[in-house]
Structure 1
Amino acid sequence: MATQAREYRYSDAHVHYVDFFQESEGMDSLIEVMDEVGIDHVMISGVAVAKKWDENEPKRPRYYAGDDASLYWYSATDNLVIEAVQGLPAELRQRFHPFLSGFNPNDKNADAHIRRMLETHPGFWQGIGEVFTRHDDLTALTHGDAPRANNEALHRVYRLAAEHDLPVLLHANITSKRERNPLYLGEVEGALKEHPDVRFIWAHAGTSMEIHRHQQRLDFLRPTLERLLAEYPNLHIDLSWTLLRPYLLDGKGKPREGWLELVEAYPGRFMMGSDVVGRFGGIGEKLDAFRPFLDALPEAVARRVARDNFLSILPGPSNSGKAGGLKENGPEADDP
């Protein structure tokens, strides 16, 4: 007798409403895709930087890496999110969970800016991020020192996040394009250790497409995550696209046993995100690519990863003070 195929409902934990030029297809397009794909909820944020069309470039770039022109920090991105979400009727608005991202993570004034945004739009923001720290060529094209996940400016932001019970979506590459070791891990771990009351979502667990192009698969990634998840109950993992291959699935599209075991050991700590930027037609394809991995998990775990885990880290009485809703550090605390 054939096994009935599972149908999943999703929360997309990583959606950028705009692209690197602060442009978007708009909310109507996003809602249409959500309804078509079965997405009940999305994390929605802007993009913290804007790409310059340089005087010396004859053609407008299509992506931040399209030419050598720089990027600059762009606070108005949050206002675009505010307008988009507040323009929706109430029954649709509750499906969107806005994260505030428009600040320079190297600026010790950032927490003051975030506080102003929280005060002028009370009850609107449900998280902070995506915070760009180590980010391959994006970092190289942005003026100033490379932001670190554990610098003083961000320590101030994390303290504010704890004060307001806001999760933080953090982009922090675990290594560079060339080093075959967890070069920047100490920066992420420093943030986790210093701020146990902040629920951190690590965007694609520190991987990136640029790292893959130069290094393929990082053999140290899974054992590193296993240790971090055991030691830091405030750590959550965003399984967005750069983790799918070559980590969750092998070259033949078969789920890797080690990663299945890791997610089963910590079933409340993983969530899915498309990581789209301003264009939404590809969300369904991105989420559907995870189906072989989800189907290989116990059904209750798969449904938590697909939808419920993201909702569990949002601010609210059920999560406050629990470091991500866990009762204890061990994997047994996450059992469904």
Structure 2
Amino acid sequence: MNRQATGRSICVPSGGHRLLNIRNCLAAFCLVVSAAPVQARDYHYSDAHLHFVDFFQESAGMDQLLKAMDKGDIDHVMISGIPVAKKWHENEPKRPRYYAGDDAAVYWYSATDVVVAAALKELDEEQRKRFHPFLSGFNPNDKNADAHIRRMLDMDPGLWQGLGEIFTRHDDVTALTQGDTPRANNEALTRVYHLAAEFDLPVMLHSNITSKRERNPLYLAELEEPLRNHPHTRFIWAHAGTSKELHRHQKKLDFLLPTVKRLLDDYPNLYVDLSWTMLRPYLLDSAGGPDPDWVALVERHPTRFMIGSDVVGRFEGLREAMRAFDPFLDALPEAVARKVARDNFLAVLPRKRQAEVR
């Protein structure tokens, strides 16, 4: 009998030799197949969470962003400003490099949307199709916010494709922000959610699930109330309610997975942004392997998750930020992985935009 150890080997009887029984033949075949290398997947991505500017409203610019997108196989980007600006306080001799660099305040900054719009208007039509701008420069404590958003939509018809990232509970950002702490269920944002439904705009909401020290879903009701009361508004929950500061103080929130599971089952208008603070310790374990419980949850809701970099104004690490999700994506069925990597974000955009990006 001739036995060829190739990926397509079969048992071929030779005339002068005794045939192997069928069980041995099948075992040999299975051994060869299992040893064959698994083909690596090549993904194209939609970055569902990117800030064109940093907390000083500065940016490396659109040329650098486009180069980073091309290098990283990133077809589409949710692009937004940052709704607050960091103050360089009179008493500080050195300008801080980040919002947490010193104790100076941050303040609501509406011109962030003007910066984003101006950058997009410099692009040609084909380039512009890759960008999906979300309007964010409004104070979520101000009941005038919906009127401001309506004016911005009227000024640039068809430009804005979503609202956010809206900062509500956001640990140190909240602590430094001038004025009252925003809540996802306050009256001002209720008016914004009605407007979002009217214009078919998804809303990206940053609402931490808890504080730095409470090991329970302390602020969950602030998110769940608008989910329940605004069924026609699509909500993207930034980082699934987590943040770098929560991880620093609490490591891993054991109640996060069952909470996200219940919310997705109860509210079909909820989508989850898995951007970077979700990678570890949730999607990937300490050894870099995929967490099977999160894999199972994404398989259960294959159209409800998206990934993003959450970079702020600098784009040199964009490719690496998106590819960091590959070990988790590879653990999913391929069709689901491609939805999470690219298509789910596009599907949550205004319906009149979806046909243009397929």
* 1:37-52 matched pairs, under 5 angstroms: 37-52=72-87
SS at match of 1:276: coil
Instruction: Tell me what 1:299 maps to.
Output: 334
Match for residue 154 of structure 1?
189
- Partner residue, 1:242: 277
Between stretches 138-147 and 300-309, larger displacement belongs to: 138-147
Structure 1 residues 4-39: Cα deviation after superposition (integer angstroms, max 9, x where no partner) = 110000000001000000000000000000000000
- For structure 1, the residue ranges without an aligned partner over 5 or more in a row are 320-336
The answer for the alignment partner of 2:92 in structure 1 is 57
Paired residue for 1:194, among 224, 229, 236?
A: 229
CA offset digits 1:148-182 (Å, max 9, x no partner): 00000000000000000000000000000000000
* Corresponding position of 2:112: 77
- Larger Cα Rg: Structure 1 or Structure 2? 2
TM-score (norm 2): 0.88
| d(CA) in 2 for partners of 1:126, 1:171 | 18
Q: What is the correspondence of 1:76-155 to structure 2 with a 5 Å cutoff?
A: 76-155=111-190
Look up the match of 2:246. Answer: 211
Displacement after TM superposition at 1:283 (Å): 1.1
Partner secondary structure for residue 13 of structure 1: strand
Whole-angstrom distance in 2 between the partners of 1:224 and 1:194: 19
Cα distance in 1 for residues equivalent to 2:126 and 2:157: 19
Q: Does 1:166 align with 2:238?
A: no
Deviation for aligned residue 1:316: 1.3
Aligned length: 319
What secondary structure, in the 3-state scheme, does the structure 2 residue paired with 1:246 have? helix
Aligned to 1:334: none
Deviation at 1:285? 1.2
For 2:264, the aligned partner's letter is L
**Normalising to structure 1: TM-score of the pair?**
0.94
Shift of 1:288: 1.1
- Aligned residue number for residue 176 of structure 1: 211
Q: 1:122 to 1:21 in 2, by over 3 A?
A: same
Deviation of 1:317 after TM superposition, in Å, equals 4.7
Q: Name 2:261's counterpart in structure 1.
A: 226
Moved over 6 A (4+): none
Q: Distance in 2 between matches of 1:112 and 1:189?
A: 25
Describe the SS at the equivalent of 2:351: coil
Corresponding residue for residue 67 of structure 2: 32
Assess, with a 3 A threshold, how the Cα gap between structure 1 residues 124 and 318 changes in structure 2: closer, same or farther.
closer
Task: Give the superposed CA RMSD.
Answer: 0.8
Q: 1:256 is matched with which residue?
A: 291
